[in-house]
Amino acid sequence: MHGFSYKNGSLFCEDVDLSTLAAEHGTPLYVYSAGTIIDHYTRLDAALDGVDHEVAYAVKANSNLSVLRLLATKGAGFDIVSGGELFRVIKAGGDPAHCTFAGVGKTRDEIVYALEQGIYSFNVESEEELRYLDKVAGELGMIAPAAVRVNPNVDAKTHKYISTGKSENKFGVDFTAIEELYERASKELPNIRLRGLQMHIGSQLTSISPFIEAVEKVTPLVLTLKEKHGIEFWSIGGGIGIIYKESLESGAVDWWESQPLEERPLTISRYGEELVPRLKGLGLKILLEPGRLIVGNSGVLLTKCLFEKRGSAKTFKIVDAGMNDLIRPALYEGHHEIVPLSEPPTGERFKVDVVGPICESGDFFCQDRLLPDFQPGDYIALMSAGAYGFAMASNYNSRPLPAEILVEGGTATVIRKRQTLDDVIAGEL
Ligand SMILES: Cc1ncc(COP(=O)(O)O)c(C=O)c1O
Ligand SMILES: N[C@@H](CCCC[NH3+])C(=O)O
């Protein structure tokens, strides 16, 4: 499904008019479609039918408690990357026994907390970390369930900042060093239970081939580890890319799924069709760690145009959202479609930069893009902002964090209040 469409000239999220929400709650404002989140989760889960599997949603993409609760009620597990994310999952009613804990730099406090909560597995990224985990578990008289993250040295063909599966990236342990590490760990680390193997080659992959390459490369290793060390799961990570361009017109997932195979290098169904036959005979539980795929297309950031500034070189549309609210364009030149909340009467387009109020030249949402006309006072939507949107927002320039709203059919619920100025300085002495 696609949660966003024009009805009678106004952009709606499911059955809620976004202009009404913007006027009522102010901007910048994040709005999520619950139906889209559930639809994407359910589709991915179904695409892996035939394989013993679990979808462990990557909390980092969007960690709002209500989003986590929604996914927990659908049976999702969770991939966390900090003690804070585990705290959120527990608060949202998620089960720690279905949590995996990723990340290259877990602290003692985080390890203790996760051990006490009984998480499913620590996904460990170095021998040093594995030895430290063994030590902390020993001190508590506990056994730590663990998997090592293998770095398969596969090119994910994505932006260099979000590629994680090459030897030069900081993530995981070299493919060639894993077997010996498991040997050593089984002999020397009595407080570790080697439970699985993990990998994650990068984010926003738009082609199936790196996934296939990584799965085929790592399969013999995982089978050896199963035979020698009795591992029971293989997490193949997340990384499935979404449609950012024309995400409104195309109807996102539905549209892509309806295209001929050669036109859709990566869709949920293609992912399942290619990977299920490769994974089903392994006798291992397969974990997936999708973040962006579940929530990316489900969210928009609404913002109001404050001024139009015509310079000698460019026309700037200055809006009330900034890079502190959505940093992806500044950080990765990430593309977010920009559409007015009131459907433009004509197809006429004007070349503009849409920029925020922050004191940085990188504070833009698009540059030299042809957009329909909108004027000061009008609202626009930055599409596909549900993943790594609010989750990466900050108080830079002492700007309060925006509110978040979850739409379910005709009901809109505030799931995070807009910060006040007092909230911004809270905790300062
Ligand atoms: C270990 C791990 N798992 C899962 C994810 C989720 O990635 P994505 O949102 O691209 O699915 C990430 C982020 O890239 C990650 O680092
Ligand atoms: N935050 C990034 C993706 C990184 C994923 C986390 N490993 C993005 O917005 O595209």
Tell me the mean pLDDT in the region 159-176: 79
Using a 6 Å cutoff on CB, does residue 79 contact ligand 1?
Answer: yes
The predicted structure's pLDDT at residue 171: 86
Q: Which atom of ligand 2 is nearest to the CA of 200?
A: 7
- 277 assigned to a ligand binding site: no
User: What are the structural domain ranges in the chain?
Assistant: 4-30+297-425, 35-294
DSSP 8-state secondary structure symbol assigned to residue 94: -
Task: Find the 207 Cα to ligand 2 centroid distance in Å.
Answer: 17
ipTM value for the complex? 0.98
Tell me the mean pLDDT in the region 221-240: 98
Task: Find the 238 Cα to ligand 2 centroid distance in Å.
Answer: 11
The predicted structure's pLDDT at residue 252: 62
Task: Find the 317 Cα to ligand 1 centroid distance in Å.
Answer: 33
Q: Between 127-140 and 108-117, two packed helices, what is the crossing angle to 10 degrees?
A: 60
Task: Find the 357 Cα to ligand 1 centroid distance in Å.
Answer: 30
pLDDT at 262 > cutoff 60: no
The predicted structure's pLDDT at residue 257: 72
pLDDT category at 261 given cuts 50, 70, 90 is low
- 332 assigned to a ligand binding site: yes
Query: 178 φ, ψ to 5°?
Result: -65, -50
Which of 332, 335, 384 to probe ligand 2 with, by most ligand atoms within 8 A of CB?
Answer: 332
Tell me the mean pLDDT in the region 247-254: 65
The predicted structure's pLDDT at residue 383: 96
pLDDT category at 165 given cuts 50, 70, 90 is low
How many angstroms separate the CA atoms of 417 and 64, rounded?
Answer: 11
pLDDT at 346 > cutoff 70: yes
How many angstroms separate the CA atoms of 413 and 404, rounded?
Answer: 9
Using a 6 Å cutoff on CB, does residue 289 contact ligand 1?
Answer: yes
Tell me the mean pLDDT in the region 368-380: 97
Condensed to tens digits (0 to 9), the pLDDT of residues 265-321 reads: 688 999 999 999 999 999 999 999 999 999 999 999 999 999 999 989 999 999 999
3-state SS class at 36:
helix
The predicted structure's pLDDT at residue 209: 92
CATH architecture of the domain with range 35-294: Alpha-Beta Barrel (3.20)
Known active-site residue 359: yes
How many angstroms separate the CA atoms of 138 and 130, rounded?
Answer: 12
Which two tokens mark 385? 């902002």
pLDDT at 246 > cutoff 60: yes
Condensed to tens digits (0 to 9), the pLDDT of residues 92-145 reads: 999 999 999 999 999 999 999 999 999 999 999 999 999 999 999 999 999 999
Write down the H helix ranges in 51-205: 65-73, 83-91, 108-117, 127-140, 178-188
Tell me the mean pLDDT in the region 386-403: 98
How many angstroms separate the CA atoms of 103 and 86, rounded?
Answer: 13
Find where tokens 């090459």 sit.
166
Residues with Cβ within 8 Å of 265's Cβ and at least 6 positions away in sequence, in order, are 206, 207, 208
How many angstroms separate the CA atoms of 275 and 256, rounded?
Answer: 18
How many angstroms separate the CA atoms of 417 and 321, rounded?
Answer: 16
Counting Cα atoms < 13 Å in the Cβ hemisphere of 221 gives: 25
pLDDT at 412 > cutoff 90: yes
CATH architecture of the domain with range 4-30+297-425: Beta Barrel (2.40)
CA dihedral 292, 270, 121, 99 (to 10 degrees): 50
Which ligand sits nearest to residue 242's alpha carbon?
1
Which two tokens mark 128? 């040093």
How many angstroms separate the CA atoms of 119 and 80, rounded?
Answer: 10
Catalytic residue among 99, 305, 359, 366: 359
Tell me the mean pLDDT in the region 355-362: 96
Q: From 117, 349, 399, select the one nearest 101 (Cα to Cα).
A: 117
Q: What is the percentage of the chain residues whose pLDDT exceeds 90?
A: 87
Q: Which atom of ligand 1 is nearest to the CA of 103?
A: 1
Q: From 340, 319, 338, select the one nearest 399 (Cα to Cα).
A: 319
Check for a shared fold between 4-30+297-425 and 35-294. no
pLDDT at 329 > cutoff 90: yes
Distances (CA, A) of 416 to 31, 67, 419: 11, 11, 9
- 340 assigned to a ligand binding site: no
- 292 assigned to a ligand binding site: yes
How many angstroms separate the CA atoms of 251 and 92, rounded?
Answer: 30
Under 8 Å between Cβ of 235 and 196: yes
Tell me the mean pLDDT in the region 81-95: 98
Tell me the mean pLDDT in the region 393-421: 98
Closest C-alpha residue for ligand 1 atom 14: 203
Using a 6 Å cutoff on CB, does residue 290 contact ligand 1?
Answer: yes
